[in-house]
Amino acid sequence: MSHSPHAVGAPEAAGTVKAALDRALELLRVDASLALEQAQEILHAAPGHPMAQLVQGMAQRAMGQPALAVATLGPLVEQQPKAVSAWYELGMAQFQIGQNDGALASLRRAVELKPDHADAWRAIGDICTMAEDVAGADAAFAGHIKASTRDPRLLRPAAALCANDLASAEPLLREHLRHCPTDVAALRMLAEVAGRLSRYNDAVMLLERCLELAPNFHAARQNLVFVLNRQNRFPEALENVEYLLGAEPNNPGFWNLRATVLARVGEHGESMKIYADILQAHPAMPGVWMNYGHALGTAGRTEQSIEAYRKCIRLEPNCGEAYWSLANLKTFRFADAEVAQMKSLLARRELTNEERFHLQFTLGKAEEDAGHFEASFRHYVEGNRLRRTEIAYDAASTHDLVARSRELFTADFFRSREGYGNPSREAIFIVGLPRAGSTLVEQMLSSHSEIEGTMEHQDIMVMATRMGRRSRKAGGPDYPAALAALTPEDCHELGAQYLEHTRLQRKTGKPVFIDKMPNNFLHLGLIRLILPNARIIDARRHPMACCFSGFKQHFARGQYFTYSLRDIARYYCDYVDLMRHFDAVLPGAVHRVFYEELVANTDQGVRDLLAYCGVPFEESCLRFYENDRAVRTASAQQVRKPIFRDGVDQWQNFEPWLGELKAELGPVLQQYPAVPGG
């Protein structure tokens, strides 16, 4: 017979049958027809050789000849009833020609012989899904999930995920799923990648596909709750938690998840009770102690919060986040022994990057409190450097968004849209940068009988992202240019949606509520379109004080611009530029509060705030520190005390090392509180 340049010879020419078989298996990966030719040569020399028959059947199936594969493999499994690969290949060939009952029997025999055969379990799940056998599919995918922990094809992406090497993990998983689209373990891993990259919609889609295939894949459902919670989709998150608790009502992890979601919707009393109940039954759970500490701190129960964090540390001494949680109370001071303990921890090689940066931020705060400013600055710099390696932030994209917003949102743009939007006056937006005094402003306002403080809602940012994505998908412009196409009805409906989505956070029945998401300054045009009567308060602080305070802060999520002095300075300049623009095109629409002025003349500052919000003055707003509402930001403990004047100029202790920040701020710093070009 004639051969192509890549054709194979008889096994005698290859040396041995074993060498020829090895060659045939190699060829299966690149050219099934050549593998088939090699297997047939072996069978010519060694009739009935079982491995050669297997390779022949595998090659026939790979070449799209499943009926021939069944004819080859059927006799083989009769001769070799314990040959796992033969049963699997036969089952897959039977599946391809529609012999589903036979395929199921063959594949079930494969997993009887080899319970960790991930591909066989997945194929059983696929067949059961097609037959609408939900219970059978669920059981099969459960077997697949268990087997996947030993699947060598998932070991590399799993290792990359553990190392947070998302750039390596993602293509490996996508390539695997291209061949095995119903591999629920791989789908869950890819969802984890998407979640870490803040691609939450992609994560939800992948996890919902997981659960469609395997409803009792509890780990995937837990991941889904995390992502929904991150997206502020609280009713859906709670619905999935209830599913988990229905399956395992005594699972403390699921109860912990429920408490976490309840805390996000402002149900702090119920959340704390759940944490307390879990810890009474399972006192050795460090993660629950830390969550309990967060809840206690939010509720103003500081001493109990401190004790909860310390219990977490006693159970898990490497827990950098628990140390940072103590520091993040702002009013807490570490003992010398605790500082020494943290420094000794940093010497351990086994610490994760996350544990390290939490400890670095904590030591920065501890050394600052001790007056060791140079040492403190070194720790802050290292904490930011470590954190910056885990995030993707592009200052140029923020600058570009500001430029496009200035171009779109002209006085004529708003003048031509008079009457657009929902006329509600319920919302007050406090915008600016984090650590600019917005929590103080919120606490003052929420001490009024008509105003409720809620949280930093993500709804406006999510709405903006969604509109941009939809417009691009339809071939239209990106956000914010996509807003130009909105009709009066669209704007009214979007305003109503925002009010409805945020209603879950409102607990007191007060007629007005506060959304304190600082980043909403980037979306003032959208806010004005959908809620033209909303009040907008710009909380502004001295650029050096504000930027360095942000640089010292590790945020639980978001605010990625704060982990570099250069990035945060550019962000502050873009913020000032955009607010100056809105002052020009919407005169008087935004009320500006300078932190330094509010601290120096609190009475007048509060009166001006209340007048802008359209509510009468109330003395309680000057006694804001007596307000026992839950506060969920880093300033939670500080706003429970009278005006804190010492913090105004704390940045000056670090001035010798802040040359880069000063240079990048440029005219914005030199002219503060005036605005360049204003």
Q: What is the pLDDT of residue 2?
A: 34
Under the banding of pLDDT at 50, 70 and 90, the label for residue 10 is: very low
- Residue bearing the bigger pLDDT, 38 or 152: 38
Q: What is the pLDDT of residue 160?
A: 80
Q: What is the pLDDT of residue 633?
A: 47
Q: Give the global pTM.
A: 0.74
Please say if the pLDDT value at position 11 is more than 80. no
- Residue bearing the bigger pLDDT, 635 or 399: 399
Q: What is the pLDDT of residue 648?
A: 62
Q: Which distant-in-sequence residues (6+ apart) come within 8 Å of 553 by Cβ?
A: 328, 361, 434, 435, 559, 562, 634
Q: What is the pLDDT of residue 14?
A: 42
| Cβ–Cβ under 8 Å, residues 630 and 268 | yes
Total residues belonging to the chain: 678
pLDDT in tens, 554-606: 998 889 999 999 999 999 999 999 999 999 999 999 999 999 999 999 999 99
Q: Which fold is adopted by the domain 156-388?
A: 1.25.40
Return the domain boundaries, the chain. Answer: 11-114, 156-388, 395-670
Torsions phi, psi of 319, nearest 5? -75, 90
Mean pLDDT of the chain: 88
- Per CATH, 156-388 and 395-670 having the same topology is answered no
- Residue bearing the bigger pLDDT, 566 or 148: 566
Q: Which fold is adopted by the domain 395-670?
A: Rossmann fold (3.40.50)
pLDDT in tens, 319-346: 999 999 999 998 899 999 999 999 999 9
pLDDT in tens, 394-410: 999 999 999 999 999 99
Q: What is the pLDDT of residue 583?
A: 97
Half-sphere exposure of 165 (CA within 13 A, CB side): 12
- Among 194-198, 277-281, 330-334, 409-413, whose mean pLDDT is lowest? 194-198
Ranked by mean pLDDT, the top range of 7-16, 20-29, 131-140, 526-535 is 526-535
Which burial class, exposed, middle or buried, applies to 158 when counting CB atoms under 10 A from its CB (0-12, 13-18, 19+)?
Answer: buried
Nearest partner of 553 among 405, 380, 422, judged by Cα: 380
Q: Which CATH superfamily is domain 11-114 in?
A: Tetratricopeptide repeat domain (1.25.40.10)
Half-sphere exposure of 89 (CA within 13 A, CB side): 28
Q: What is the pLDDT of residue 35?
A: 85
In the chain, the largest separation of any two C-alpha atoms, in whole Å, equals 101
What is the rounded distance in angstroms from the CA atom of residue 107 to the CA atom of residue 123? 8
Torsions phi, psi of 455, nearest 5? -160, -175
Q: What is the pLDDT of residue 97?
A: 82
